[in-house]
Every structure is written in C-alpha cells, then in structure tokens.
C-alpha cells in the first residue's frame, strides 16, 4: 500500500518535472519571440514614422481634412496613428507566434478564430470611431444652436444628441461583431423609445406654450408682422 | 466667357431681345409684392429723368415668391409710364425677370445678375433691395453715377442710421476690414450697392459660387474682392434705410453667421494681399462720402436680454471656447460675465483680441468653421449689450469718438492677428 502511494507520487513528480522540462524551454522561446517582436515592432514604428514625416503625410492629411477629423475625436495625428497601428500589428503577430510555440491546441484554435474575427472587429472599431466623431460634431452643433436660440437647457439637449448617437453607434458595432444581436436590438429600441417618449412628455407638459407659438408661427397667419427677438437691435 | 449655363433658356431669350445696355438695375426679390412696385417706379423715374439717352434695363431675379411679386414686376411699368410727365427716356426701359429657386439664395441671385450684366455688356449696374420702402430716384442716381461717369468699379452705400442700427458694421465689419485691408468702406454688407461691368465679369469668373459663405453673403465678398484686387471703389450717400413693417427684421444669429463667415473666408482667401503689408500700405483712397450719418429718433433697446444670453452662452460654451480662444482671453471673458447689467462692460481691447483669435481659429480649422462662427454669437451679443449700456445717453459725437477709438484698437492689435494667423498655437 505504502509502496503504491510512493510509486504514484513518484510518477506524478516525474510527470510534473517532465512537463516543466518540456514547457519551460517553449515558454522561454515564447518570451524571447515576444521580446524580439517588441524590438522589431518598435523599430518598424520608428522607421515608418520617419518615412511618413519624410513624405510630409501630416501636411497632406491637414490639407485633406483628416487631421481635423482625428483631432475632433481626440485621436493622435495620422502619422502617429499609422505607426502605432503597425507597432501593435507586428507585436501582436509575434505574440501569437510565441503562443503557438507553446503547443496548446485549444489556445491555437482560439487564436485561429481570433484571426478570422479580426476584420469584423476592425469594422466595429471603424463604426465606433465614426460614431464618436458624429456624436462630437452633432452634440456641439446642438449646443451652439440651443445657446444661440436662448434655450433654457442647451447642455441637456447636447448630451441627449450625444447619447443617442453613442447608443446608435455602440449597438451597430455590437451587431457587427455578432454579440447578442437580439439583446442589442431590443436594448436599443427600449432606450431610444424611452428617450423619445420622455422628450415628448416633457415637451407636452412643459412646453405647451412653446408648441403653440411654433404652430402659430409656421401654419398661422403669415402676413402678421413678425416681431424680432425682444429688445435686440438689428445687426444690419 | 462668363458661365451662363445656369441661366434659364427663357431668360436667355429675354436677354437676347434686350441686346446691349448701358445701365442695369437688379432686384433680388422674394415675396416683395407690397413694396417692389414703389421701388420699380423710383428706378423707372430715375431712368426717365436722368438717363434719357442710355440703354437701360431692370432685371428681377426671384427666389421662390408665393405672392404676386412677379406680376407686380411685369406690370409696374404701365403705372410708371402713365404717371410720367414732360421729356422722358428716348429709349425703352426694358424689364425682364427670371426665377431661380424655390427659396431665396443671395449668392444665386447675385450670380444671375452678374451673368446678366456680363451678357448685356452693362457699363454700370446697381442692386436695390425690393424691401426698401423709401427708395428714391436719387438712390439710383447716387449708386450708378460714380460707376457710369466717374469710372469707379464698386460703390457701397452710406445710410443715415439710428444710433442702435447697423451695429454689426460698426463694431465688427468696418473696424476689422479697416485694420486688416486698410479699407474705409463702411457698409460692406448692404442690400444696395453698384458695380461696373468689368467687376461683374471678374467676379463671375471666380470659382467661389458653390462656397456656402459666399452663397449666403455675396455682397461682402464682392466688396472685399473689389478692395483687394485694385478695383476703384467708393461710397455714396443714400439716406435713411427703412424696412416695411410686415417684413421681419433679419435674425441676429443668421446674419452674424453669414456675414462673419464671409468676412473670415475673404480674409483667408485674400491673405496674400494683407498679411505681410502694413495697413498704411494697403489704404487706398475711398471716393465719395465718408463718416457716419445719424438719424434722430427715440432709440429704445434693452441690454438685459443680450447680457443674459451672453452670460448663459459663455457658461455653456466653455468647452467649445477653450478650443478657440486662449486661456487668458477666456478667463477675461468669464470675468466680464460675472458683472451685472448696470456695470457690465466688455472692454474694446478684449473684444478685439477675442475676435482676432476667432479669426485665427477659423483659419486653422480648430473646429468646424461654422461652429467657430456660431460660438462668436454670444460674445457679439455681450458686446452689443455693453455698447447699449455705454451709449444709452451718449451724443452722436461721443458715439463717433468711440467708433474711431475701436477702429484704432483693431489697428493696434493687428500684429497679434498676423502672429496668430501665421503660427498655430
């Protein structure tokens, strides 16, 4: 009995030592590949940045309006963005190569799936980026219009516009990567519907007089003299 | 050759039947039934009495009128001829008209009139607003004469003004163009002005007509184009400017957006003309009358509403303003927003500095250009309120003195504009 237990323990220990002895060199190789990848990626980023500066891409992107769009989305310049993208792509490639050296079949399968999934993720990121830019632009437009019209809650209106666009962009991005499609659509419908209903109720209760003024202005007597903004002198 | 492809075939046929002309008056109309008849009668009278031998034409360009404007334009001549006395024109006073769109677009109207002037080889052309209820034959003469007889290429009007009218020109448009371009043209954005056939052809051939800033305020662009491109320009006194009671006053936000966008756009497109030259080198003599012409009257304007909108605007737009003006300027603006109405005051130095920073931000595209201009509106409202408080009891001489001091402040800070214009900060 005792001999059997000892034999079992000895076998387990031998297996562990064997596994560690087999795994450790692979792990070290993986670390070396990742480290080399980091160096190569950094070098390539430096090289690309240098080449792009040489080709005056920044100036071209400024003239084409791309820099403005990126700035509005609080993103770095085109040169930084491209060189950063190259860095991460190269390094990610080396990391995945390193992981494959470990010979873990499940992990390899997941990595393969990840590669197939990447284009959809890229499109989803693009959708989110476009949503971010659109949300910034339209919320600012709403804020400026509301402030200049003398609205009482310009920030609320601006945030509402931003919120709706965000929700819209996020739901589109999630749908793109196929994540809980039905839940996303249902959540979007519920949130959007609730927001619209809240707005309608708020306007119906709080803005009855405003609504009446609008109706009178647009479908009432058009020949009636229109009074300019109270006490505001004519600019021209 | 001018680009006349956008003219309707029927209108081109009308132009062919008119032939060449010496003088042309254009009327950009939109629901102007109540006033356009009187305006045409005055133009007609001017032609009958002052230009008997000249070949003349009145051109109506309508932007989506739903009333009887077009009928009035076509029938107005009958009334005018019936009322004429003594020796009248030896030639036919032609009247033609065209419709260009379902909504009025000043740029399209002006482009149509420029193409018309070009095709008819008109020597002098005047644009008159059909909404001006007190147009007299002298207006027509005062606008056309400097072009036709004195060889000028552009004539801007000078109106008699109440002390709170035309503030956009007084505190922004005039001082800024005077400081940057050296121009002394007071009414750069006006409903009435005149130009030569030479300037019409030049402007018609510029690739600007699809630009939004120019479509909305083409008058400002045309005036600045004349100033910056060695055309001879001047001013002519017309008298008081009166609008019909049933025509709404122009909306402040719309006007500021249109005019300031056009001004900033012109400063950018003509930057090679002004940026490296001192104002003195740019200053060309402005023919005709100069200075302000005041109208007595009970001017009532309450600064409180504008002050409230300024204060709310500055608070709400802080994140937007941070991208446009410097920290120091924003902090000074915020400080003024804490003042209450009797003591509220935006100093000229601050106004000019902020305005120059807005112009530079427009140039550098720090935000959408329209957003930069819209963000200026609360500050403009604040400056107007400050102006109203300051000049509630001022005499015309005091207002004149302040206007001159403001112009000098704009000129003093011109190097700051150039510095910010050249180097992005």
Closest residue of chain A to B320, computed from CA coordinates? A140
The tokens of A170 are what? 């996020």
Of B146, B363, B113, which Cα lies nearest the Cα of B238? B146
- The alpha carbon of residue B171 is apart from the nearest alpha carbon of chain A, in Å, by 10
How far apart CA B266 and CA B95 sit, in angstroms, is 34
Phi, psi dihedral angles at A66 (to 5 degrees): -70, -35
Q: Is B8 left (phi over 0), alpha (psi -120 to 50) or beta?
A: beta
The tokens of A154 are what? 């310009």
Enter the CATH code of domain B4-287: 3.90.550.10
**Model pLDDT, residue B241:** 82
How far apart CA B342 and CA B392 sit, in angstroms, is 11
Chain B residues touching A141 at Cβ < 8 A: 368, 371
Decide if B39 contacts B135 (C-beta within 8 A).
yes
In percent, the amount of chain A with pLDDT more than 90 equals 14
Between chains, do B312 and A147 touch, taking CB under 8 Å as contact? Answer: yes
Instruction: For residue A22, list its beta bridge partners.
Output: none
Of B171, B198, B184, B372, which Cα lies nearest the Cα of B268? B372
- Which pLDDT tens digits describe chain B residue by residue (425 residues)? 445 467 888 999 999 988 899 999 999 998 888 888 889 989 988 998 889 889 999 999 998 888 888 888 877 654 445 555 444 555 677 888 898 877 889 999 999 999 999 999 999 999 999 888 888 999 999 999 999 999 999 999 998 888 888 899 999 999 999 999 988 888 888 889 999 999 999 999 998 988 888 988 999 999 999 999 989 999 999 988 877 777 777 889 999 999 999 999 999 999 988 888 776 665 555 666 666 677 777 567 788 888 999 999 999 999 899 989 999 999 999 999 999 888 899 999 999 999 999 999 999 988 889 999 999 999 999 999 999 999 888 888 898 899 999 999 999 999 999 999 998 77
Of B310, B173, B385, B246, which Cα lies nearest the Cα of A232? B385
| Confidence bin at A219 (pLDDT 50/70/90) | low
| Confidence bin at A36 (pLDDT 50/70/90) | very high
Of B320, B374, B379, which Cα lies nearest the Cα of B353? B379
Between chains, do A231 and B306 touch, taking CB under 8 Å as contact? Answer: yes
Exposed / middle / buried, residue B102 (Cβ in 10 Å: 0-12, 13-18, 19+): exposed
Alpha helices in A149-180 (DSSP H): 154-176
DSSP run (H or E) holding B34: helix B33-50
The residue assigned the tokens 């909108």 is: B309
Polymer length in residues for chain A:
236
**Model pLDDT, residue A214:** 64
Of A137, A43, A145, which Cα lies nearest the Cα of A94? A43
Chain B within 8 Å of A209 (Cβ-Cβ)?
Answer: no
DSSP run (H or E) holding B237: strand B233-240
Can you give the residue ranges of every domain in chain B?
A: 4-287, 304-422
Between chains, do A232 and B246 touch, taking CB under 8 Å as contact? Answer: no
CA angle B62, B65, B68 (to 5 degrees): 105
- Give residue-wise pLDDT tens across range B131-160: 888 889 999 999 999 999 999 999 999 988
A35-55 core/surface letters (b: 16 or more CB in 10 A; e: else): eebeeebeebbeebbeebeee
- The alpha carbon of residue B111 is apart from the nearest alpha carbon of chain A, in Å, by 22
Cα-based distances in Å from A79 to A58, A59, B120, B164, B413: 6, 10, 54, 52, 36
């Amino acid at each position: 009995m005792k001999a059997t237990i000892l034999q079992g323990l000895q076998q387990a220990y031998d297996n562990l030592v064997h596994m560690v002895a087999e795994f450790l060199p692979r792990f070290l190789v993986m670390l070396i590949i990742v480290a080399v990848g980091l160096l190569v990626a950094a070098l390539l980023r430096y090289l690309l940045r240098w080449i792009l500066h040489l080709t005056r891409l920044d100036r071209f992107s400024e003239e084409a309006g791309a820099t403005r769009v990126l700035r509005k989305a609080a993103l770095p310049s085109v040169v930084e963005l491209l060189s950063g993208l190259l860095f991460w792509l190269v390094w990610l490639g080396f990391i995945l190569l390193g992981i494959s050296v470990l010979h873990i079949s499940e992990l390899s399968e997941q990595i393969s799936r990840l590669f197939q999934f990447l284009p959809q993720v890229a499109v989803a990121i693009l959708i989110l980026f476009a949503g971010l830019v659109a949300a910034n632009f339209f919320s600012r437009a709403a804020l400026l219009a509301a402030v200049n019209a003398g609205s009482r809650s310009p920030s609320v209106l601006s945030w509402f516009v931003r919120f709706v666009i965000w929700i819209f962009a996020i739901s589109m991005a999630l749908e793109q990567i196929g994540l809980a499609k039905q839940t996303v659509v249902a959540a979007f419908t519920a949130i959007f519907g609730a927001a619209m209903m809240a707005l309608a109720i708020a306007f119906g209760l709080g803005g009855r007089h405003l609504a009446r003024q609008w109706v009178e202005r647009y479908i009432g007597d058009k020949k009636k003299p229109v009074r300019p903004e109270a006490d505001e002198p004519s600019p021209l | 050759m001018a680009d006349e492809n956008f003219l309707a075939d029927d209108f081109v046929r009308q132009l062919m039947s008119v032939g060449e002309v010496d003088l042309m008056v254009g009327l950009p109309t939109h629901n102007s039934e109540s006033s356009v008849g009187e305006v045409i009668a005055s133009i007609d009278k001017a032609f009958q009495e002052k230009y008997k031998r000249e070949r003349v034409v009145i051109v109506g360009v309508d932007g989506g009128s739903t009333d009887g404007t077009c009928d009035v334009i076509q029938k107005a001549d009958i009334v005018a001829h019936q009322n004429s006395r003594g020796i009248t024109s030896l030639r036919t006073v032609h009247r033609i008209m065209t419709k260009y769109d379902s909504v009025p677009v000043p740029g399209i109207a002006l482009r149509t009139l420029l193409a018309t002037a070009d095709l008819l080889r008109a020597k002098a052309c005047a644009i008159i607003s059909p909404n001006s209820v007190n147009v007299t034959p002298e207006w027509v003469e005062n606008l056309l004469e400097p072009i036709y007889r004195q060889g000028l290429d552009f004539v801007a009007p000078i109106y008699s003004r109440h002390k709170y009218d035309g503030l956009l020109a007084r505190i922004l448009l005039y001082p800024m163009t005077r400081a940057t371009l050296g121009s002394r043209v007071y009414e750069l954005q006006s409903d009435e002005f005149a130009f030569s056939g030479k300037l019409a052809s030049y402007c018609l051939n510029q690739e600007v007509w699809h630009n939004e800033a120019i479509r909305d305020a083409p008058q400002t662009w045309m005036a600045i184009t004349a100033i910056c491109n060695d055309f001879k320009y001047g001013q002519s006194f017309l008298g008081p400017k009166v609008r019909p009671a049933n025509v709404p006053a122009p909306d402040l936000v719309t006007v500021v957006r249109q005019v300031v966008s056009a001004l900033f756009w012109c400063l950018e497109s003509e930057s090679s003309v002004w940026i490296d030259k001192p104002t003195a080198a740019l200053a060309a003599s402005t023919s005709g009358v100069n200075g302000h012409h005041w109208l007595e009257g009970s001017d009532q304007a309450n600064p409180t509403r504008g002050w409230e909108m300024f204060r709310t605007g500055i608070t709400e737009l802080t994140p937007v303003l941070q991208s446009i003006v410097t920290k120091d300027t924003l902090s000074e603006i915020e400080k003024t927003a804490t003042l209450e109405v009797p003591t509220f005051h935006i100093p000229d130095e601050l106004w000019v500095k902020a305005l120059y920073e807005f112009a530079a931000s427009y140039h550098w595209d720090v935000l959408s250009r329209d957003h930069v201009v819209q963000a200026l509106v609360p500050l403009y409202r604040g400056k107007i309120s400050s102006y109203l408080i300051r000049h509630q009891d001022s005499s015309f001489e005091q207002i004149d003195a302040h206007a001159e001091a403001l112009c000098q402040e704009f000129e003093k800070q011109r190097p700051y504009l150039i510095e910010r214009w050249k180097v992005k900060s």
